[in-house]
Every structure is written in structure tokens, then in C-alpha cells.
Amino acid sequence: MSALGLQLDDLILSRPRLSILAALVGGDEVDFTFLQKNLGIADGNLGTHLRKLEDENYIRSKKVLVNRKPKTWFRITPQGTRALERLLRQLEEILIQSK
């Protein structure tokens, strides 16, 4: 990557984290099960990736009780949206250069 002279965001360059942000970029809040079902990432891994993204303030979580059961909703932050857009632009540049 560095050979191409681009400073790519390592945190979201990982495929699971990239796909989490891609799944959230529409703006709606989604729950853990939805992400698991649509991204096909194992329980523990998904939790770790979500935590990393939350630590960087790319996503925000909100815990609520639904029928006395805890449920966590995830939502992308403006910072996360910007990071994803920046990375997409950079990836597109790479694709254009490689043609």
C-alpha cells in the first residue's frame, strides 16, 4: 500500500470492520444479530471489531432493554462516515491506477 503513496486507514482496512461500516453507512441503527446475519462474522470476532470501531469513535452503540432482554443498537458516527468515504476514494484511485 505504501508503494502507492497512500495513507490508508489501517483500522478500517480490515475486511470485517470495513463491512461493518459499509453496513451502517445508510444511517439506520442496526443490532448485533442483523450484522452477524448480513456479514457472516462469528460472535466473538464481531464483538471485538465493533469495540475497536467504537473506541475510535467510528460507531456508537446504545444499550436498551427490550422485553427485559438487553439489546445493543449500533450507528455510524459522522467521523466513521468520513473515514469510510475517504477510504473508498483511495481504493478507487488505486483501482484506476492499476488499470
* Contacts with other proteins, residue ranges (CB under 8 A): 1, 4, 13-15, 18-19, 22-31, 33-34, 37-39, 73, 75, 91, 94-95, 98
Instruction: Provide the minimum distance between the beta carbon of 57 and other proteins in the complex, in angstroms, as a whole number.
Output: 18
State whether residue 75 is helix, strand or coil.
strand
Give the Cβ contact number of residue 74 at 10 Å: 20
Instruction: Provide the minimum distance between the beta carbon of 51 and other proteins in the complex, in angstroms, as a whole number.
Output: 19
Q: 1 or 42, CB closer to other proteins?
A: 1
State whether residue 64 is helix, strand or coil.
strand
Q: 54 or 88, CB closer to other proteins?
A: 88
Instruction: Provide the minimum distance between the beta carbon of 44 and other proteins in the complex, in angstroms, as a whole number.
Output: 19
Instruction: Provide the minimum distance between the beta carbon of 71 and other proteins in the complex, in angstroms, as a whole number.
Output: 9
C-alpha cell at 60: 456508537
CB-neighbour burial class of residue 39 (10 A; exposed 0-12, middle 13-18, buried 19+): middle
Q: 34 or 48, CB closer to other proteins?
A: 34
CB-neighbour burial class of residue 15 (10 A; exposed 0-12, middle 13-18, buried 19+): exposed
